[in-house]
Structure 1
Amino acid sequence: MIELKKKGKEKVREMSYKSILRKSMKQKRKGLSIDKKQNKDKIILEKLLNSSYYKKSRIIFVYVSMDEEIDTHGFIKKALNSGKEICVPKVISKDRGMSAIKIEDFSKLKPCGKYKILEPESFHNKIDEKYIDLVIVPGLVFDRKGGRIGYGGGFYDRLFLKLKDNTPKIALSYDFQVIEDVPIEEHDILIDGIITG
């Protein structure tokens, strides 16, 4: 039998707890009725559009929602119509992360990769992440201290390292996705706010 060091056991326990939280929140999101989801998404979108974060920003990086995620499609279209510069993720690879690609038209996004997430077709309009004024962050579980559990790929943690230090990182979340305490690791970067509904 191999004896684990205490720290190693804590790490294993923390990782399994993260897995349990991810699975639980995915199920809770799936359990929302279409009407309830649409209502909550509308409230969250209005709060985002009325936030000082949005009003002060010129270049916004935002995830393109899929499945049970809070719908960002309407937000992207409204922001583009309002003259904001919108960047969305385009995955390079699991190891190299993703790039921020500026878009002009939501309808030009195409399903890409294993999960068929809507992305720009090319890296043609890639922008330097240092110019981004606001990042809209996806995730599964959050706490009020800035802790976040994403989907486990580390894509956003790597993106955060490329931003200016003062770029706000704002999560969109259903109220039940915010818990008392999220297990975080040393390399995790905290978010700056959560918009819930």
Structure 2
Amino acid sequence: MADEPENRKRALRAELRERRRIRTAPERERAQTGITQHLVQLASDLDVGFIAAYLSTPDEPGTRDFLRWAAERGIRILLPISREDGLLDWAPYDGEDEEQDILGMPTPTSELLGPIAINGVDLILVPAACVAKDGMRLGWGRGYFDKTLGSMEGCPPVYAVIYDDELVDEVPAERHDMPVDGVVTPAGIVSFAAA
């Protein structure tokens, strides 16, 4: 059946959304501490000076403490802003005011840059519902990051930020789905071997 991968994705996303929703505040705090520590380690190991990341929502594994750390060290940061045409614009992270994009995702209020502004970054951090141990990422179903990653020439390392139990054996995948190079979880950094 042609819709089978999409139906499996939809069911898995619903399960993962619910798991995230019911995490307790202490679980989130412990996860936040580990994720921040490992994001700092990854950025330091890769000696990054320019990254593309995202502002986490309350249910997502937290990226905000890491972004503050990076900004304090002079690392340039771009954050995505969803467009109606399915592409991502980018805006510099200034640590100031936030608003919501067309999907209701938090975005900065700084200068809006176009889709190619991401070219030249040293590291890309992406959200994910879960990631398989072969690096295949299951996003939230709109394809914004898949389009961005699929269109880049000379793409830098791409890491998804997830909870430990969201690193799974396999995910349903379709031709347009893009893998990641690794994941950052509360427990550590996992890098996948290049295929």
Common fold: TM-score over 0.5: yes
SS in 2 for 1:88: strand
State the Cα distance separating 1:107 from its structure 2 match. 1.6
RMSD of aligned alpha carbons:
1.9
Amino acid of the structure 2 residue aligned with 1:101 = A
State the Cα distance separating 1:178 from its structure 2 match. 1.3
- After TM superposition, where is structure 1 displaced by more than 6 Å over at least 4 residues in a row? none
Match of 2:139 among 150, 170, 173: 150
What is the correspondence of 1:80-91 to structure 2 with a 5 Å cutoff? Answer: 80-91=71-82
Match of 1:161 among 146, 150, 158: 150
How far apart, CA to CA, are the structure 1 residues paired with 2:24 and 2:53?
Answer: 25
Between the two proteins, the alignment pairs up a number of residues equal to: 185
SS in 2 for 1:26: helix
More helix by share: 1
User: What residue ranges of structure 2 are gaps of 5+ in the alignment?
Assistant: 187-195
State the Cα distance separating 1:53 from its structure 2 match. 6.5
* 1:162-195 superposed Cα distances (whole Å, 9 cap, x missing partner): 4343411101111111111111111222100011
How far apart, CA to CA, are the structure 2 residues paired with 1:122 and 1:176?
Answer: 35
Match of 1:99 among 89, 92, 96: 89
State the Cα distance separating 1:46 from its structure 2 match. 0.2
How far apart, CA to CA, are the structure 1 residues paired with 2:167 and 2:16?
Answer: 10
Q: 1:84–1:185: structure 2 CA closer, same or farther, 3 Å change rule?
A: same
Structure exhibiting the larger radius of gyration computed from Cα positions: 1
SS in 2 for 1:131: coil
Q: Does 1:64 align with 2:64?
A: no
SS in 2 for 1:160: helix
- Aligned twin of 2:12: 21
Q: 1:87–1:59: structure 2 CA closer, same or farther, 3 Å change rule?
A: same
User: What residue ranges of structure 1 are gaps of 5+ in the alignment?
Assistant: 1-8
- Aligned twin of 2:190: none
Amino acid of the structure 2 residue aligned with 1:121 = T
State the Cα distance separating 1:31 from its structure 2 match. 1.9
Scaled by the length of structure 1, the TM-score of the pair is 0.86
* 1:6-61 superposed Cα distances (whole Å, 9 cap, x missing partner): xxx1x322111111110111111112110111111210110110125664211100
Q: Does 1:120 align with 2:125?
A: no
- Aligned twin of 1:133: 122
Sequence identity percentage: 23
How far apart, CA to CA, are the structure 1 residues paired with 2:71 and 2:44?
Answer: 16
